[in-house]
Structure 1
Amino acid sequence: MNLPLGNNAIVHRRALRLNKDGATKVARVIVPVFLAPNEDPTDMVASASFGPLVAVLQGLRSHDERLVEQLASRAPTHGKHKVHVRRDEDGRIVGAGGKGDGEDQEHDDDTDSAAEAALLHFSSPRDTATIAAFLRTRVYRPESLVWLEGYQALIRWRKENEITGLYAVPYDVEVGATKAFPLGRWVHQQRKALRAGALEERRKVLLDAPEAGLVWEPGEEAWENELAALRSYRRAMGHLAPRQDAVWGEGEAMVSVGQHMANLRRKGGLGKDPKRAAQRAQQLAAIDEDWNCPWPLNWQHHYTVLADLAQDEPGGVLPDIQPGVVFDADDIGLWRGRRLEGRRGGRGSGKRGAHRRP
């Protein structure tokens, strides 16, 4: 068999001529995969390191399509070498591995005994869905490795965060141990491509699959973009009590966070669907539990600014701040002075202290 894309120095092949009596013999192809430093061997879908294996499988497929088409119908989740698919001498699938302790299984019936030879072995366990995705995207309908990098990042991110079912990836999500991949923006690009009619059907099928669970609804995408802006604002400012005219972001990603928060706090601001409204309230509370505090937002805004400044003072105690001292366009000296006067005069509210974080 000619493997023009394979590395003949490392791909070892042993082919046996048929026995004169017609008994079946097996030809084995051993394909080493050399991973890059710190590369995860389970990221085979988008890894260039698996190129030699892709070349071998594509060569086998061009020789006989039946040899590869259903190769990933079963895969081991633990143990040592295991049979993935077994076929009879005519190439028909007659059984598959997936049970037992990882060793090749023994079978009593003649059909299974005739098909003990495994078509594919891995030196370490591989997940069924991973192998299926690898064969679909690298062998059957080869995809661009650039696109596959995003697809693999999506699958890995969902797995690491134990996410199942449909889930909208936040716009600001980045993944990668050594190199940050902008997964949120990549997902956004897939939605744009779908709306423009430029997303190939096979890619949409991959993204619709349970392991990807991509959300296509524009409304959900807009909500996730707004949440990303609110997370960024909260990290920078320490609160979700912006003035109504406050904006946040850069360039086209600018969001009117002040007006947006005002709208969300209104009755019915989270939507008419009770289930969706409850979910969105939980998402906002995960960013800042005081996003919809019962006291005035102006109070929350000033308090958070002063609490942040107090963290840098000895013992967490602020020095005297005179009226006229402005921080982020707020006269924090005047505001603090009035609070202290109210406390001395017995006009302070205990309810606010009960709801505030320490």
Structure 2
Amino acid sequence: MNIGVAPGDGEEESRLLLRFAAPRDPVMVADWVSFNIINTERQDWARRWAKLKTFVEREGNARVPYGHREGATPLGQWVAEQRRAYAAGQMTGQRARRLEQLGMVWSPADERFQENLEAAMAYYEQHWTLCAPRSATALDKPVGQWLSNLRRPGALDGHPEWKTALEAVDKDWNPVWPADWQRHYAALRELVADEEGQAGAVEVLPGFTVHGMDIGKWLARQRTPKVWQTLTDGQRERLEAIGVVPVAPEPEAPAKPSRAHVSAFERGIAALAQTKPARAL
């Protein structure tokens, strides 16, 4: 005899509550209703968490577009609701931890930062620096302008974790010297990386370009005594670490003796030559 589907978790307990509740006992009825609502909400949350887990395993991140549906589940809307609940202090610590385990980023600003950081990391893989020109793009994102904005004074106020994340990718992402200098240095460092990290092991002549930059011409200029003296200690340390040293200054030509140093004898001879009468023919 078929007696139906076996009760799920919590269903048997809810039936017992209803069975033993007096018809006019509002407290028992309220407990039964509350139990079922809470239990259903927990199951619904767990199902959507599982959908998010599937998304993360497939996409590699928890950045679900707002309009995305995972099957019939409006997953993007659900994720946005979780962020709102977290911001309002309406989420339990256990749920927050479970979402964080999947890589949930609570702040929309943090979410955008993580997306741009991934693009910046892709740029670094190709150029060995985060001092990208403003026009630079990576992963279809304007990383050059984004990084330039972050280098502005006060741009990272209130977000020390952003600064830490950028420095983890490139400690010189915001140098005290010009970003253009850092780009040329990074290109030189990339060039000599396969030569035991020493610029002296490879001939870099003017006209040798990397990523469209004339690294040979730039290197020759850095090595001149005049320019070398204007570099900061940090710039010189970085160049010296890859074997770049300044060229020796050219020896000064000996100065010609001035008239003040001509001996009295020489002056006398010169004067005699000027006053000696010409020989008669």
Normalising TM by the smaller chain, what interval? 0.5 to 0.7
Bigger radius of gyration, 1 or 2? 2
List runs of 5+ in structure 1 lacking aligned partners: 5-57, 70-86, 92-132, 155-174, 176-180
Q: Which residue of 1 aligns with 2:96?
A: 210
Specify whether residues 226 and 300 from structure 1 end up closer, same or farther in structure 2 by C-alpha distance, changes over 3 A only. Answer: same
Q: Report 1:86-165 matches (<5 A).
A: 136-137=42-43, 143=47, 148=50, 150-151=52-53
Distance 1:205 1:3 in 2: 39
* Offset of residue 341 of structure 1: 1.9
Q: Which residue of 2 aligns with 1:81?
A: none
Q: Which residue of 1 aligns with 2:60?
A: 183
Q: Would you say how many aligned residue pairs link Structure 1 and Structure 2? A: 204
Q: Does 1:339 align with 2:222?
A: yes
1:13-33: CA deviation from partner (whole Å, max 9, x where unpaired):
xxxxxxxxxxxxxxxxxxxxx
Counterpart of 1:280 (choices 162, 165, 168) is 162
Distance 1:323 1:202 in 2: 58
Q: Does 1:66 align with 2:6?
A: no
- RMSD of equivalent CA atoms: 4.4
Q: Report 1:48-67 matches (<5 A).
A: 59-61=6-8, 65-66=11-12
CA contact (8 A) 1:248 1:256 kept: yes
Distance 1:328 1:141 in 2: 50
Distance 1:200 1:245 in 2: 32
Distance 1:232 1:314 in 2: 24
List runs of 5+ in structure 2 lacking aligned partners: 21-38, 87-94, 242-281
Q: Indicate the structure with greater helix content.
A: 2
1:298-342: CA deviation from partner (whole Å, max 9, x where unpaired):
111111111112121156344222211111110011001111223
Distance 1:354 1:3 in 2: 82
1:333-358: CA deviation from partner (whole Å, max 9, x where unpaired):
10011112237975554332447895
| TM value normalised by structure 2 | 0.57
| TM value normalised by structure 1 | 0.46
Specify whether residues 255 and 319 from structure 1 end up closer, same or farther in structure 2 by C-alpha distance, changes over 3 A only. Answer: same
* Offset of residue 182 of structure 1: 1.5
Percent identity of equivalent pairs: 24
* Offset of residue 201 of structure 1: 8.0
Q: Which residue of 1 aligns with 2:115?
A: 225
Q: Which residue of 2 aligns with 1:267?
A: 153
Q: Which residue of 1 aligns with 2:183?
A: 301
Counterpart of 1:248 (choices 115, 134, 138) is 138
1:214-259: CA deviation from partner (whole Å, max 9, x where unpaired):
445433322221111111111222110111211122xxxx111211
CA contact (8 A) 1:238 1:308 kept: yes
Helix, strand or coil at the partner of 2:112:
helix
What amino acid maps onto 1:340 in structure 2? R
Distance 1:269 1:286 in 2: 18
Distance 2:151 2:231 in 1: 25
